[in-house]
Amino acid sequence: MPYAWIVEPGSKVKLSDYDPDHIEGLDKEQGRAKLAKLATEIEELQELMYAAKQTALLCVFQGRDTAGKDGAINKVLSYTNVQGCRVNYFKVPTPEEASHDFLWRVHKLTPGVGGITLFNRSHYEDVVVVRVHDLAPKEVWKDRYDEINSFEALLARSNTVILKFYLHIGKDEQRERLLDREKDDTKAWKLSVGDWKERELWDDYTEAYEDALTKCSTEHAPWRIVPANHKWFRDLAVAEAIRDALKPHRKEWMKHLEEIGRNAKAELAAYRKGSEL
Ligand code: ADP
């Protein structure tokens, strides 16, 4: 069983069925040791992926305020090579972005083959925050689930592996994290009344997320629900999913790189013969 729960396509998600405290019987020390091993594997896989230029990896991070999107992304960055890894943040759309269809700003930031892109928020805001705050009429956002599925299918057909992480925290844990920010002067800059106001909409967000997880978990891009009350376990689950997603491609990348190597050697041999070096 993977550490994150993979939402079976076609199944209906009820978030209360998933325990945000889940740690699979591990303790923090064991978790850290496992993560270190996964990180080494991912490092090697990323290098091959970058060189082979046959596959791209898109990781989408969604979750409520304080769920740990920034933390999870920073952890991934700590064990990936910056040369092949990029992060994009999606905020309230700018006037230019808002003047286009909702996928316009997202599509152009998806990774090309060889690259890894991490999305901090994503096109899912357009069926979550937009729905919760009535920023677009239902007639508009209700069609977006299908539109998202078609978009992700197109990416998958274009050699992009898609990992979608819903970082699942409990309501009490969110309260603790928000209060922590008040206690810690070095975190106070993160304070916002808006976070407490959003918290009042907890149930509306639950409903919107449950629909997104239910309607947009597909064969080519299933959602993963990551137990996120424990940061070390969240990071472990994300790393495991990345390793598991990349590893099956290792053989084809190696094959391709060996072919490139053979061609390079033959070219070099022909050059040496010609120049009598
Ligand atoms: P974060 O909370 O991710 O650290 P911000 O405080 O700048 O960063 O929040 C970004 C805000 O942008 C969030 O409230 C998010 O819901 C909002 N947002 C992102 N995408 C959209 C969208 N398509 N429509 C409306 N609001 C959006």
- pLDDT profile of the chain (277 residues), mean per 10: 95 98 97 98 98 98 97 97 96 98 98 98 98 97 98 98 98 96 86 93 98 98 98 98 98 96 95 80
Decide whether any atom of ligand 1 lies within 6 Å of the 241 Cβ: no
Per-residue tokens: 115: 């690259």
Q: Is 2 helix (H, G, I), strand (E, B) or coil?
A: coil
Residue type at 30 in one-letter notation = Q
- pLDDT reported for residue 276: 66
CA–centroid distance, 84 to ligand 1, in Å, is 26
Query: Phi then psi for 170, rounded to 5 degrees?
Result: -85, 165
**Residue 242 near residue 4 (C-beta atoms within 8 A):** no
What single-letter amino acid sits at 38? L
User: 């270190």: which residue's tokens?
Assistant: 36
Residues 6+ apart with CB under 8 A from 237: 2, 3, 4, 224, 226, 227
Is 67's C-beta closer than 6 angstroms to any atom of ligand 1?
no
Residue 129 CB–ligand 1 contact under 6 Å: yes
Residue 138: count of CB within 10 angstroms of its CB: 9
- The two structure tokens encoding residue 31: 């978790």
Strands 116-120 and 223-227: unpaired
Say what the pTM is. Answer: 0.96
| Helix-then-strand count for the chain, H and E | 12, 6
The pLDDT value recorded for residue 32 is 97
At 135 the pLDDT is: 97
